[in-house]
Structure 1
Amino acid sequence: MEEIRRLADRFDLIEPVGGGSMGTVWRARDDNLERTVAVKELLLPHGQGEQKADEAKNRALREARIAARLVHPHAITVFGVIDEQDRPWIIMEYLPSTSLADKLRDGPMEVDDVIRLAIQLCSALAAAHRAGIVHRDIKPGNVLLGDDDTVKITDFGISRAMGDVQLTATGEISGTPAFLAPEVARGEDATSASDVFSLGATLYTALEGGTPYGTAENPIALLYRASSGEITPPTKSGILTPLLNRLLDVRPDSRPTMTETERELRALAAGEPTTLVAEEPPPKARKGMLVGVLVVFLVLAAAAAAAVVVVLNRDDDTSAGTPPASQSQSVAPSPTTSAEPPPSSSPAPPSSSPPPATSSSAPPPPAETPSQALSAYYALIPGNLQAGFATLTDNFKRTKNQSFERYSNFWKEYRGVAVSNIAESGNTVSATLTYTRAAGGTTTEKATFVMVQQDGRWLIDSQR
């Protein structure tokens, strides 16, 4: 093939600055406008016939049309497309930069740095979604870090406008398996929610030093992991953990929008309270019928064991208000408004308070300190949800749109939360929480509670 050094008698190709399976990116000079540009040379399929080549050209033209809709300070701008030597060339903005993928070869990033990076990405992707554009391949290699600390998302090359006719071959999945949303890995259409997951996977990689699905030499094996939605829980994400868990939720409708994600990130950067619950559970993958039967068995077994522990604890250590040191301690998360529980078989509306407490659901004696009260709350969950719910203030329930029905329905799928590293400062108590799903698997995060006294008892008033 003839080497091309000048396009359309206007663009001089200077040097390659990047590339991949889709083609090569060149730094080039636009003689007409006297500026540096990036030119993406798209490679056409070889040995697959003229029809395949034409389809690839159509995709390139479509890429240019879609990407050109978006003009944003944190997205690489597309200027135009040229057909030269039977292959398309896309003319784009040039940004002196390194990719996030290259930067991560030096090791993971700090949480604060990832938050600043993510805010810039979210602002561009939120604008893309408002314009009806789905990126479909968000990954560290498509995140550019400018020399002036500017962050830009690039390569909308396999993105598509929502509602447009898909030009890729039937059954062909576009995207990088390590960053694909589970639904896309299973062959479903990509949506803005899929982009949210891929953003979460990219941020996860920046923080943890590896992808949520782990590594596999065989891309088919990695695609299988992606389709199941089973991720390795993050351990280095700090204050980003609750948001990151929501971004990586296996259920698309439970993920925040890109606009909501940007708002949460800005609040974290400013040190302000966010609307997320710090104890938001990790994403849960869909299971087959056999696994479902096993889950039911585990839930019933855990509930029976918890009931025995509660009875024994009440007999042996009722006056202390805290469990013995050898007993595992658990706390019940309160579900957020974005995670609706399964519909109840009863038509009765949810109540804001639990049924009348019986002798088996009475709260423990008042604790002397906030940390003791929190420990006592942990001891109640999940075997005594009525007493646990009574430990939350009306303000907490109102803020979290909480009812006892939502509270108990949420816990049907969880065994509990083990608590450690409890620290008290005034009426504020922090702790490390390790969640255990009924289906198996754990994840750990930190939470901070504000306690208030009402009628001589310490109650949980807020959590972050």
Structure 2
Amino acid sequence: MLVESRRIRDRYRLLEPIGGGAMGTVWRAQDEMLGRTVAIKELLLPHDHDEHRTEEAKNRAMREARIAARLQHSHAITVFAVLEEEDRPWLVMEYLPSKSFAVLVGEEPVSVDDAIRIGAQISSALAGAHRAGIVHRDVKPANILVSEDGTAKITDFGISRAIGDVKLTATGEIAGTPAYLAPEVARGEDADFAADVFSLGATLYAAVEGQSPYGTADNPIALLYKASSGEIEPPTKAERLTPLLLRMLATDPAERPSMDEVEQELRALLSDAEPGESVLAATVPEAEVADVPAAVPTVPATVAVPPPPPPPGEVAAVSPGARKGMIAVGAGAALLCVAVVVAILLVVRQKAPQDNAAPPAASQPPASASVTPSPSASPTPAPSSASTTTPPPTSTPVSPVSATKNAAQALSAYYALLPGNPAEAWKLLTDHFKSSRGQTYDTYTRFWGRYKSVEASNVKEIGANKVTARVLYDGGQGENDTFTMVQVNGVWMIDSQG
């Protein structure tokens, strides 16, 4: 039968295949009743089992598809209908011209900023699903679609597991890949919300590191063994995303954050990101009120070329009069800020030195990959115009750091200031570090405000101005970091991390 003449339910005309895999074929199709383009997924059922087991697989697929069809979320592909035709399930879905995240990752390296943007969007859909009691069960790069404008959507809620994908079969063969499976799922346990968190973490890890957290293996059985044991290779390129990734990839499901927490932290990291060009230019909207995300099996469409980001600072339709008013207000605000800073400096000069001393405070998780402290060789620059918090005057740092005799002691003293005294800790970051991270005092304090404790242990010098430490965030899983320290006016400061 010619593709052009093939119809489903005398309503949907199949135009061309746009993707496919172990689960079936995805077609671009025309809904002739509503006159719109849709994507239709033709699910393939296993034929290596008896008729009874094949029927069970079909029923599971239909059930999971109907669940997905009830979900609605701006970052999940919508399922319009679930049909049974030619003795197998068909899913009628939203058509999104796009590429899969797997294709994008394969084409060129994904920056940490891009991974955060994609992760923030997908975690919002998964968080909505979890609030509705729905587990995705197969989060991986191939199930994330990215459109031309950078919008990301998750697909295939529950479908892959319903028809037996990604599992060890009775014959010892592996259907699918265990590269993104949570350890407990690889051991045969049922997938739950924590398993989705791990799989999203593994997806973001693969995007920035270029491989699965379990490494690479030609033998899928060996990869499954590593997955079941939870043996991951620590990330080396994830930068400020590292602390969150390590928590998401914790072997114990109880130690992983919830998907709501993942979304919040990714949004915070997104707001801290440096301005600059990105292949995935879309920003993430504010958290959706809808408590149910839509997710559907969909295979990437064939068209999607990442667009250049819009010119920074562009403002839509501002009249000349309004623009003059804005300039006047801005000028007035700038003069007021100058006056305030001068007044503060005069007051500080009149205070006794001990008034500036900051006692060590309860530790707080460093922005290890996100906001690594860096010392400032000169007075801390005023925050950017977007920042609303005025940083403390950057005089030479005071005790306990001023009393440190070496770089290792200085790093320990830095973490002792956090989270209770970010004002003094901020002074121990160099201008080079701040500019390299696009950091302002406002984003710095907001970052540290999210944590309760941080502990730096096994701090030791490994070379000239190089210090290593194991940093533990909120009592969770720790990570090993390397810091470059420099002396400014006799005080050790952090110049880089990683």
Q: Specify the SS of the correspondent of 2:159.
A: coil
Residue equivalent to 2:219:
218
Q: How far did 1:119 drift? A: 0.9
TM-score, structure 1 normalization? 0.62
Residue equivalent to 2:232:
231
Decide whether the 8 Å contact of 1:197 with 1:248 is kept in 2: yes
Partner amino acid for 1:123?
S
TM-score, structure 2 normalization? 0.58
Decide whether the 8 Å contact of 1:393 with 1:459 is kept in 2: no
Residue equivalent to 1:104:
105
Q: Does 1:375 align with 2:414?
A: no
Distance (Å, rounded) in 2 between the aligned partners of 1:10 and 1:151: 29
Residue equivalent to 1:130:
131
Q: How far did 1:174 drift? A: 8.0
Q: How far did 1:190 drift? A: 0.9
Q: How far did 1:416 drift? A: 5.6
Q: How far did 1:13 drift? A: 0.8
Q: How far did 1:52 drift? A: 1.9
Distance (Å, rounded) in 2 between the aligned partners of 1:2 and 1:204: 43
Distance (Å, rounded) in 1 between the aligned partners of 2:247 and 2:236: 15
Q: How far did 1:401 drift? A: 5.0
Decide whether the 8 Å contact of 2:471 with 2:481 is kept in 1: no
Q: How far did 1:373 drift? A: 6.2
Q: 1:370–1:95: structure 2 CA closer, same or farther, 3 Å change rule? A: farther
Matches within 5 A, 1:14-93: 14-93=15-94
Decide whether the 8 Å contact of 1:367 with 1:373 is kept in 2: no
Distance (Å, rounded) in 1 between the aligned partners of 2:265 and 2:100: 25
Q: How far did 1:435 drift? A: 3.9
Q: How far did 1:49 drift? A: 2.1
Q: How far did 1:433 drift? A: 3.9
Q: How far did 1:159 drift? A: 6.8
Q: How far did 1:244 drift? A: 1.1
Q: 1:102–1:151: structure 2 CA closer, same or farther, 3 Å change rule? A: same
Q: Does 1:253 align with 2:278?
A: no
Decide whether the 8 Å contact of 1:37 with 1:94 is kept in 2: yes
Q: Specify the SS of the correspondent of 1:133.
A: coil
Q: 1:58–1:395: structure 2 CA closer, same or farther, 3 Å change rule? A: same
Deviations 1:81-127 (A, max 9, x none): 11111111111111000001111112321111111111111111110
Partner amino acid for 1:25?
V
Partner amino acid for 2:87?
D
Distance (Å, rounded) in 2 between the aligned partners of 1:390 and 1:182: 32
Distance (Å, rounded) in 1 between the aligned partners of 2:90 and 2:469: 51
Percent identity of equivalent pairs: 54
Distance (Å, rounded) in 2 between the aligned partners of 1:176 and 1:417: 40
Distance (Å, rounded) in 1 between the aligned partners of 2:256 and 2:155: 23
Distance (Å, rounded) in 2 between the aligned partners of 1:271 and 1:93: 33
Partner amino acid for 1:62?
R
Q: Specify the SS of the correspondent of 2:272.
A: coil
Decide whether the 8 Å contact of 1:26 with 1:38 is kept in 2: yes
Distance (Å, rounded) in 2 between the aligned partners of 1:226 and 1:31: 46
Distance (Å, rounded) in 1 between the aligned partners of 2:107 and 2:467: 29
Q: How far did 1:445 drift? A: 3.6
Deviations 1:44-68 (A, max 9, x none): 2224221122112112211212212
Deviations 1:185-238 (A, max 9, x none): 111221111111100100011101111111112211111000111111111111
Q: How far did 1:77 drift? A: 0.6
RMSD: 4.2
Deviations 1:361-403 (A, max 9, x none): xxxxx8774775652266x8xxxxxxx899557936998656x
Residue equivalent to 2:198:
197
Residue equivalent to 1:395:
420
Q: 1:436–1:43: structure 2 CA closer, same or farther, 3 Å change rule? A: same
Partner amino acid for 1:271?
D
Q: Specify the SS of the correspondent of 1:264.
A: helix
Distance (Å, rounded) in 2 between the aligned partners of 1:390 and 1:105: 38
Distance (Å, rounded) in 2 between the aligned partners of 1:107 and 1:191: 32
Deviations 1:2-30 (A, max 9, x none): 98821000011111111111111111111
Distance (Å, rounded) in 1 between the aligned partners of 2:110 and 2:222: 27
Distance (Å, rounded) in 1 between the aligned partners of 2:259 and 2:471: 28
Structure with greater contact order relative to length (CA < 8 Å, sep ≥ 6): 2
Q: Does 1:271 align with 2:272?
A: yes
Q: How far did 1:176 drift? A: 3.3
Distance (Å, rounded) in 1 between the aligned partners of 2:483 and 2:114: 21
Distance (Å, rounded) in 2 between the aligned partners of 1:416 and 1:77: 50
Decide whether the 8 Å contact of 2:181 with 2:195 is kept in 1: yes
Structure 2: gaps of 5 or more residues: 274-361, 366-398, 423-447, 473-477, 486-490
Distance (Å, rounded) in 1 between the aligned partners of 2:418 and 2:48: 69
Partner amino acid for 1:128?
A
